[in-house]
């Protein structure tokens, strides 16, 4: 009897995990799963890739300076000078 009970708990757990994964992908929102030992965050892989790219850009001093300068121009009602997407991504 205990084996059947454990299997049904495992099946139920897998069902919930699949639901969490599907919602993270579909809704593009993270889910935080907390325990006494700490917490983990579940999010769609493409969202994680976007976060990593943002962190990479913000850790680049030149990119960060350009971003802040552009925001300052916009805050003053201006439009920052820029380049086309083709120019920005020509090395990719």
pLDDT tens across 16-69, in order? 999 999 999 999 889 999 999 999 999 999 999 999 999 998 898 988 898 899
Residue 58: CB partners within 8 Å, gap ≥ 6? Answer: 64, 67
Residue 52 and residue 30 share a domain: no
28 & 60 share domain:
no
The structural domain count of the chain equals: 2
Q: CA dist 3 to 8, 16, 18, 33, 92, Å?
A: 9, 20, 22, 26, 54
pTM, rounded to two decimals: 0.59
| Same domain? 36 vs 53 | no
91 lies in a domain?
A: no
Q: What is the largest CA-CA distance in the chain?
A: 72
Give the per-residue pLDDT at 2: 53
Q: What is the pLDDT of residue 40?
A: 95
Q: Let me know whether 38 and 50 are in one domain.
A: no
Q: Please report whether residue 7 resides in a domain.
A: yes
Within this chain, do residues 38 and 54 fall inside the same structural domain, yes or no? Answer: no
Question: Residue 6: pLDDT above 90?
Answer: no
* Beta pairing, strands 31-35 & 38-42: antiparallel
Q: Quick one: pLDDT at residue 1?
A: 46
Range of the domain at 22: 2-42
């Amino acid at each position: 009897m205990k084996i059947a009970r454990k299997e049904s708990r495992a099946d139920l757990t897998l069902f919930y995990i699949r639901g969490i994964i599907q919602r993270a992908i579909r809704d593009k929102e993270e889910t935080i799963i907390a325990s006494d030992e700490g917490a983990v965050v579940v999010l769609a892989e493409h969202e994680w890739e976007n976060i990593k790219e943002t962190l990479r850009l913000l850790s680049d001093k030149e990119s960060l300076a350009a971003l802040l300068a552009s925001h300052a121009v916009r805050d003053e009602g201006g439009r920052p000078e820029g380049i086309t997407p083709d120019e920005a991504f020509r090395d990719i």
